[in-house]
Amino acid sequence: MKQITRLGLGLLLSSSLVTAHADDVKIGMITTLSGGGSHLGVDVRDGFMLALEQSGRDDVEVLIQDDARRPDLARSLSNEFMQRDEVDILTGIIWSNLAMAVVPSVVRQGTFYLSPNAGPSDLAGRMCHENYFNVAYQNDNLHGAMGAYMREEGYERPIIMAPNYPAGTDALAGFKHLYEGEVVGELYTQMGQTDYAAEIAQIRDSDADSLFFFLPGGMGISFMKQWESSGVDMPLFGAAFSFDEILIKAVGSAAIGARNTSLWAYDLENEANDRFVEGFQAAYDRMPTLYAAQGYDTANLILSALETAHPDDKDAFREALRAADFDSVRGEFRFGPNQHPIQDIYVREVVEGDDGEPTNRLMGIAVEDIQDVYFEQCQM
Amino acid sequence: MSVTLLIEQLLNGVQLGTMLFLMASGLTLVFGVMGLINLAHGSFYMVGAYATATVTASSGSFLLGLGAGIAAAASVGALVELLVIRRLYHRPHLDQVLATFALILIFSEGTRWIFGSSPLWLSPPSWLTGFVTLPGDTRYPIYRLMLIGVGIAISIALYLLISRTRLGMRIRAGESDREMIGALGINISKLYTLVFALGAGLAGLAGALVGALQSVQVGMGEPVLILAFVVIVIGGIGSIKGALLGALLVGIVDTLGRVYLPIFFQTFMPPSEATGVGSALAAMLIYILMALILAFKPKGLFSAHD
């Protein structure tokens, strides 16, 4: 009995020792590290951790959990992080449907959430919140920018294609919003579809002069390989989600020549980006993707805000986040009134790299200072 | 809307059908001969694709890779039969479903553990890329034509195997009366392993051939598996002939539905709504077809156990 009390005392003592470090900052990261599309989560995590390491701070603790792309799991992990670990900040979610399951309740309970990838329209508009910051993009941004770019380049009869699910229909709506012209046709594919022979035949049969598509992950790989062997000669356009450095290596030569919009490119010239790309390659021995860049920026934004305030002082910390006083790897970066980025969107072309493998090369800016269209619905 | 589009889509449907047949024939053989529901059949498809991608990358020869893919899938199949499946024959179907579902998880995570979660690169060899111009100015990829050719060749080979050889005789005997052929002194456990490996090898071949056209990634077998189950239910469980007919039917209906349903709805609806409704209905079409066929022929088109 005595021993048990002593043990209890010891535990009490040690737990009070832990709380003695109240100044430490705890960050919970829920991201996709297994299952389909896990390379996105891995890159967000690696970019994030690289920034922390480069900062040299040892008072920031990051707890990482895998959501396996399941909304229910992500939700219970977020509860665990908030109630058991009492984290100050949550981040990491890749997919919009998971973000919608987690973010609203997290921010309502007073924890900060910084999105390193997902940017569903509801969170930018009517469900925006003072504790929610999106450091990546609003989902429409890249598609809309491609619409504007194609209009400017003089493509008059695009045919557009996406899977038949919310992010797919949003992508085509975003494209049409800034393309501001008639499209020849809209094709909706099935989620997870692997064979595109029927769609390719339709595209060939139409009189389109260009193709814009949004097929994230494995769908894009299948489509582009089949596109190449079909003999259809039409320029390809898309958002960076189908053309990250890892995906285009799996596509191979079929991706060469495709143009894609991105908020970041590894050959973008600025000091922060040099430091990031070199550091990332040295640490992980591979080329970073845009997801890694977003993770890196998210961490640097948090670090910059920590310079002025601790997350316990919510108002001061929030103000510090809003100021976005950090060197972003994508050049200029600021927040709009709904705490989503106002940023330049770039165009990249897939070319054959020095090692013979396809890689992205920066071509220029598609749209300067793009802002989402939902900020007017946001009342904060 | 032109004749060339229709011809091309029919070819696409036949091509999808022949690949489905490679999957479904193994599934239906295993069910017909051993009475086993094997959900892990999609894993052999994945094993075939991964082995082909790995060997093709290191040797530079697609044909060598293809051989390795079939061999790997068949031997993994034989191994799984010896270690796991063998214990399931006398269990109820629910236990079989549970155990083979566990196999899916083990294969998927194992593959991720070995190869990582990024998709592997596998493309058709250069002598199979490009397209041919068919009569009526239809351009069609050579690789897809080759797939149709392989599918037809395998169908004929399977037909000959089952109708003309001793092994085929035993398979047919096993389909019609499982206990009797054991009683007649045929080494039934060897036959089971052989049939299971044959089915796995065919799935591996399909995975390798389709993997070069699509992407080689973890979990690639499951969507195909669902279609293959639809095929064998339509064709009649246990019947190879039914599997062939069901596969072609599903392939053609699915392909034509995806193309022509949205066009059909556009005749009386605004374009963006029509594509939405049309593609949603197209996704359901083969299940509607299955329901219709089962309503009139509850055991499928050709039932092996009449």
The DSSP line for A140-170 is: THHHHHHHHHHHHTT---EEEEEESSHHHHH
> Which single residue is written with the structure tokens 């977003």?
A294
More confident residue, B240 or A92: A92
Q: Per the CB < 8 Å rule, is B219 touching A247?
A: no
Candidates B6, B105, B118: best to mutate against A (most CBs of A within 10 A) is: B118
What's the token pair of residue B16?
Answer: 């999808």
More confident residue, A312 or B189: A312
Concatenating the DSSP letter of every residue in B123-141 gives ---GGG-SEEEETTTEEEE
pLDDT for A22 = 55
Max CA pair span of chain B:
68
**What integer is the mean pLDDT of B121-129?**
84
**What integer is the mean pLDDT of B220-227?**
90
Contact A330, A343 (CB under 8 A): yes
Measured between beta carbons, the chain A residues lying within 8 angstroms of B258 are 198-199
Contact A45, A93 (CB under 8 A): no
Measured between beta carbons, the chain A residues lying within 8 angstroms of B112 are 34
Which of A42, A197, A221 is the closest to B12 by Cβ? A197
- The backbone torsions φ and ψ at residue A185, rounded to the nearest 5 degrees and listed phi first, read -165, 160
pLDDT band, very low/low/confident/very high, at A19 (cuts 50, 70, 90): very low
Interface of A to B at Cβ within 8 Å reads 34-36, 38-39, 42, 164, 169, 185-190, 192, 194-195, 197-199, 201-202, 204-205, 218, 221-222, 225-226, 228-231, 246-247, 249-254
pLDDT band, very low/low/confident/very high, at B272 (cuts 50, 70, 90): low
* Average pLDDT score, chain A: 90
CA distance to partner chain B, nearest, from residue A371 (Å): 26
B129 SS3 class: coil
pLDDT band, very low/low/confident/very high, at A36 (cuts 50, 70, 90): low
Q: Per the CB < 8 Å rule, is A194 touching B223?
A: yes
**What integer is the mean pLDDT of A32-41?**
82
Q: Per the CB < 8 Å rule, is A201 touching B259?
A: yes
Contact B150, B18 (CB under 8 A): yes
Q: Residue A204: closest CA among chain B residues belongs to which residue?
A: B5
d(C-alpha A288, C-alpha A279), whole Å: 10
Which of A198, A205, A221 is the closest to B215 by Cβ? A221
Q: Residue A252: closest CA among chain B residues belongs to which residue?
A: B121
Which of A188, A228, A251 is the closest to B279 by Cβ? A188
- Per-residue pLDDT for B93 more than 80? yes
CA distance to partner chain A, nearest, from residue B67 (Å): 22
Strand (E) or helix (H) holding A377: none
CA distance to partner chain A, nearest, from residue B177 (Å): 39
Q: Per the CB < 8 Å rule, is A230 touching B262?
A: no
Put residue A35 in one of left, alpha, beta given phi > 0 → left and psi -120 to 50 → alpha: left
Which of B16, B212, B283 is the closest to A190 by Cβ? B283
d(C-alpha B214, C-alpha A224), whole Å: 9
Q: Residue A205: closest CA among chain B residues belongs to which residue?
A: B5
Concatenating the DSSP letter of every residue in B258-303 gives HHHHHHHHHTTS-HHHHHHHHHHHHHHHHHHHHHHHHHH-TT-SS-
Candidates B50, B215, B218: best to mutate against A (most CBs of A within 10 A) is: B215
Candidates A229, A233, A246, A355: best to mutate against B (most CBs of B within 10 A) is: A229
Candidates B16, B258, B281: best to mutate against A (most CBs of A within 10 A) is: B258
**What integer is the mean pLDDT of B18-31?**
92
**What integer is the mean pLDDT of A117-127?**
92
Question: For residue range B279-296, what is the model confidence (pLDDT) as tens digits?
Answer: 788 889 999 999 999 999
Which of A164, A250, A253 is the closest to B215 by Cβ? A250
What's the token pair of residue A326?
Answer: 């950090």
CB atoms within 10 A of CB B18: 25
Cα A294-A296-A299 angle, rounded to 5 deg: 110
Question: For residue range A138-197, what is the model confidence (pLDDT) as tens digits?
Answer: 999 999 999 999 999 999 999 999 988 778 888 998 999 999 888 998 898 887 788 898
Q: Residue A254: closest CA among chain B residues belongs to which residue?
A: B123
